[in-house]
Structures are given as C-alpha cells and as structure tokens.
Copies of this chain bind each other. A is one copy, B any other.
C-alpha cells in the first residue's frame, strides 16, 4: 500500500507539474501575441495589398504568391504549394436591379449575384412573386410561379444566440432556391441576404444547381431592399428588372499554400491547421477568412518564436476555393493520404476574427472529452466553449480518409459575424486588433496541447 500511495502521489504531482508547465507556456504565447504579434499587420497586408480574392481570379493568384512570400519570411522548415484544380466563376460588371410600381415609380435595389449563378440574358423584366421562405415556395402551385421572378424573404432568426445556427437555418433558401424556383417555371430567384442587421449590404455566397432542372439566375437583396419589397408587394403588383452579368469559365489550376515545422519525434504524424485563402469578390475577405489565415500563420510563428520543438509535424495550410467548391480541402485530404501522412488532428479557423469563446470538436467521444479537459487551462483567456461540433469546411474531407482524426473548429464570438459575411463591408477596419491576437494565441495553445498530449 505504501508504495502504491507513493506512486499515486508521484503520478499526481507529475500531472500537476505538466499542467503548470502548460499553463506557463500558454501564458507566454498570449503575451507574445498581444505585445509582439504580427497578425494585425499581416491581415492589413492581405486585405489592402491583395484584397478580395475569389478562386480563379487574378487576385487569388496574387494571394498565393503573397502567402508563399509571407510564410517564407518566417523561416519555417518548409513552404510549398500543393496543386489543385478549381472552378472559375466571375461576377462581370456590377449587377442592376429595380422594381417599377403601378404608378411608374422606380425603386433601385441593392443586389449581388450569388456565386455560381448563370447570367440573365441582358436586362429582363418579370412580375415578382413573394414567398416568406423556401417551404412556402415548395408548397406553391406551378401556375403561381411560372413566368415570374421568385422573391424569398426568410430572415435569419434573431433569437438564435449562436448566429451560425440562424445562418444554417437560412442556408437552404440561398443554396437551393434556384432549383425550387426553376422547378415551378420561374425565370429567376432573388433572396433576402443571410445577414442579421437591417442595412444596404447584400450578402453573396454559394448556391447549387441540379443538372436535371433548368439553371436560372439567382441573386441576394440587401435586408433593407428585401424589407422594402416585402412591404410594397403587399400593396401592389411589382415588376422586377434584373441584369446579372456573371459567367462560369473553364476550370483553372490553383494551389493550396503550405508551411511546416517538422516533428522531432513523429515527423510522419501531422497536425493540420488552417483557414482559407480565397474569399468572395466583394470586400476584402477580412473576417472570412483573412482572420483564419493569420490565426494559423501566427500560431505557427508564435510556436517557432517560443523555440518550441514539436513532436509531430505542424502543418499550416492556406486552403484555396473553400467558398465555391472546396477543391482545396478535398484535394488536400486525398493528397495527404496518398503521400502516406498520418493525420492525427486538424484545426480550422473560419468563423471570423472576434474574441475567442472556445473550440468545437468533430471527433470521437474521447476527443470531445479531452477537449473539455482544457477548460481550466484556457479559462484565463476567457475561452469557455468546449463542445462537440463542427470542425470546418476545409478540414472536413480529412474525416473520410482518416476516420479516427480529431477535427477542431476555432469558435470566436459570433454576434457580429453576419454583419460582414460575404459583403463589401468585410474589410480590415472591421477586425479588432486584440481580438484577432487572442484568436492567434488560442490556436497556438490548442496546437501545442494536441502536440503534447496526442
């Protein structure tokens, strides 16, 4: 008994000591991020020196070179490109939309084509038909819809505390609205933007077609424009005039950008972490996902600056084409398997650059349980959400190739995210320096803890 007690005591002491070591190291990561961080300036550079960077655009190519140069400047063990093939859609010249009332009054609308939409054939004019949500459209008779332009006005649910839940509830309207409208003979579909504030910024985003259904143009109205239409259409018949100039070009070659710090013990075992380098073509992709790019790059830089020797290989990936195809994430998952990497964990930051709240985990029950054990270590930094949940679009394909991988998503405060998401307002000025820095250190802390404890 005596020896067992001594063993238990020594074992307990060693756990306490390890936690103290972790605690001191994590504090040093936060201190460094907050006083000597590069993240804010790096994000400024990505937003201002490159700007919006939709997959396939010249600016996306520029962003790849920016990423290479920036990662090389930090002197990691290796920096390289991984080739992928991506779709190439472009908006063309700015969209136009207005309604004409029965009195001949003209009301201009704020509108953006959804990503992937087909164009209108020049300027078209059709009667507008209103639906409060996608379900109402599905329930409508064909004769109510045929020959008209469908307007779906589902508002994000303000009572959802986590705004991503409200976004998820509205996603089918954006993603599938064109299919459902076309099934009933509509000429086009316009939707209420997936945004919470009442303002003039339309929110673009991805949508899909069904090869068996006619492809019709699809666009998003600002919430103010949607409110105005919803009010006026109760009173009178409205004709919508619409011109979308977008087009889909042949697929292009592109790249994920990758940097590594090599593992000292298990070089073949990889901890992947990243964000996506592409953005929509409006704004500057500051929160979506410039923040995720600098969170990931700065996390690796902080660990290197702390002279940390990782056991596993730490691989920072700037994924290309998350917004409209996810070819970066899909190709990466296959490529890493083919080359014989063992992927033990992956972390994605793609929910903005706001103050950290915690991490979500898509993994086994043991992974979720382990994540929850981090709460005391990260409490001083006001992280408190450690829950089962989604990892991220880019890392999700890894799950198919590595069934036992642990996927983690960085969870910042979500209240402001859908003010900016996919709009012209997603610019550097709307990212807060300290909040961004706290996210970088949080990412670095999780990478460190996985490396130590997996």
Contact = CB atoms under 8 A, between A and B. Distances in A.
Interface of A: 30-31, 34-35, 158-159, 161-162, 196-197, 355, 357, 380-382, 384-385, 413, 415-416, 419, 432-435, 438
A382 B382 CA distance: 11
A434 B196 contact: yes
Contacts of A432: 415-416, 419
Given A385-B382, A413-B355, A159 B30 contact: yes
A380 B415 CA distance: 14
A415 B355 contact: yes
A159 B33 CA distance: 9
Nearest to A380: B161
A161 B381 contact: yes
Contacts of A31: 159
B415 A161 contact: no
Given A355-B413, A382-B357, A413-B413, A30 B161 contact: yes
A238 B323 CA distance: 55
Most chain B CB neighbours (cut-off 10 Å) among A31, A381, A385, A415? A415
Contacts of A197: 433
B30 A382 contact: no
Contacts of A438: 161, 415
A416 B416 CA distance: 13
19 contacts: A30-B159, A31-B159, A34-B158, A34-B159, A158-B434, A161-B381, A161-B382, A161-B438, A162-B382, A197-B433, A355-B355, A355-B413, A357-B382, A382-B384, A382-B385, A384-B384, A415-B434, A416-B434, A419-B432
B35 A158 contact: yes
A359 to B, nearest CB: 14
A333 to B, nearest CB: 32
Given A197-B433, A382-B413, A415-B434, 14 more contacts: A30-B161, A34-B159, A35-B159, A161-B380, A161-B382, A162-B382, A355-B415, A357-B382, A382-B385, A384-B384, A413-B413, A415-B435, A416-B432, A416-B435
Contacts of A159: 30-31, 34-35
A219 B316 CA distance: 47
Nearest to A385: B382
Contacts of A162: 382
Nearest to A433: B197
A402 to B, nearest CB: 32
